Structure 1
Amino acid sequence: MKYIRTIMMIVGGICLLGIGCTVQNQESEINLSELKQSDNNIRVPHNDRLHMSTDQRWVKEEGHQSDLIRLQWTAERAKPAIVWLDEKGMNKTAIISHDKANNPEQQDHKHISFETTMSPTGEYPNQLFTRFEIPYDTDVSEIRTHSSNFNVMSGILRVAGERGTNRDIQFSVAGKENETITRWALRADSSEEPGDNSGADMQFVRFDDDGKVVDSPLTIKRSSGNVGLGTNDPDTKLDINGGMLRIRDKYTPASSTDACSQGQIAWDDDYVYVCVTENKWKRTGLSSW
């Protein structure tokens, strides 16, 4: 029985490598006499499945007893993979973990990647292409997607963090070897949260050519909803830290009762107009000096 379980482990590994195996279902033992080997494939009865289970924990000191299937590379540029094929035997999707890139001139990949084929009518028809990758051997993984759109359907896209830390969605420019340099960030900032609905204010942050913070040209206070342009501490609904406010286009109300909403402002060559209440304008003259 121990020997049979060992064979099942080996076959399971080969099966997950995507080289064409199937195994007896969970209600029966594998029949070694039915194993057939040809063209580097081990095949077992069609439409059956491999069922493995464990009651062991994942504990390093105990040899990771719960890792029922192990895929190992034995050459530095090997890529052990789990591959799915279509009915014609063509590669369609894969999960691959590897250390080195195919091209020795590229930097080490050191990641697990999820891959799908490119368009059959595109520039690289039917080639497996990395869509999602998670690096290893790093304390913080820079998870990346490639030629992929990310959609949240009827759910939440959330950026969480400890109080007192910035929580950013960054917009960057891509460089060589997946290097990125930040240009803008939408940030919930690190301002303290004393418990009165204040702190963690929203900011638009801009960065210089080297990816260093320049300033926060727009801030929204969480406590009040006040908007600051050029200031991180707006004390009115709109607080502009600058010498001028520009309204580009001229507008002349047809009369003092022309349609308007309270608070609207307009100007032309001779007057500044203010809507003081609904459909009621007042104006003051302009003069040179």
Structure 2
Amino acid sequence: MSDPKAEVPDACSDTSALLALLVLVAAAYVVATAITGLCVGVAEGRRRRGVGHRRWFAVAVVGVAAPWALATYVAGYGTGRLLKPPAIDTSWADGRDAARRTLEFLALGGQPGPVSTPGFLIEEPVHLDAQLHYARHYSTTVTYQQTSALAFGSAAFVTGALLANAVGNSSVRSRAERLARPQWREHQLTRVVLTPTRTWCHSSGRWLSFDHAAVMEYHLDAHGVVLLFADSEPLRLTGPAAWLHAVLFAYFRFGAPALTTATFLMPVRAGHSGSQAVTGDR
């Protein structure tokens, strides 16, 4: 027979180890949330946002659940307010201003001048050479595999195994359907060159040519342009130089009168963002 007194130290040792583990986990949680609060506070303070960024309910919850995190957030926010604000990216505004100035210049009878294009040789003159984000819109075929479950045991166990297998197959099928549906793909930063008749994009190590005469619709929004074709996937170009592309496209595709009549150039003429489209021949 075992001695009951010999089991008492083992039980106490297990309890002490579990208690030490819980204390360690709690300490790690406190440290992690405190550091998170400090980092978020510094970031929001530096960006000159309001305390809590007007998320009062979230602030109240944090104050109740982790008051130390709220305290470090407030300290970090005050520190962030003392730091220099992050530099503002003016490239978008500069790109829009350049597009507006170019539109006004061409509308008054000016002629677009050629630009230097190192490493790009073509007979036509080049009037835009810029870095833009490139994407194409299309669907694709996605293959996936379903699993089959073979379970033995009680009715409850077999039912649970089959149900888990069905849920897993459904999740895989849903993911495949989501990946296959039409969406913007091939996202990349690429070199874009514009000539009087074409837009060239350097994608995956080769030059792709998009004929301006084949463009059925042209969209302009606050971030970029979208070109729709009759027999090819839509092309989206995003970046500060996209608006300049819109002005030059309108000029070469439809002529100087389009600079004052093309609906998709309304945001450029007005000097603010918007979303318009042109179809057919203006």
TM above 0.5, yes or no, is no
User: Normalized against structure 1, the TM-score is what?
Assistant: 0.17
**By percentage of residues, which structure has more helix?**
2
Higher relative contact order (CA 8 A, sep 6+): 2
**By percentage of residues, which structure has more strand?**
1
User: Normalized against structure 2, the TM-score is what?
Assistant: 0.17
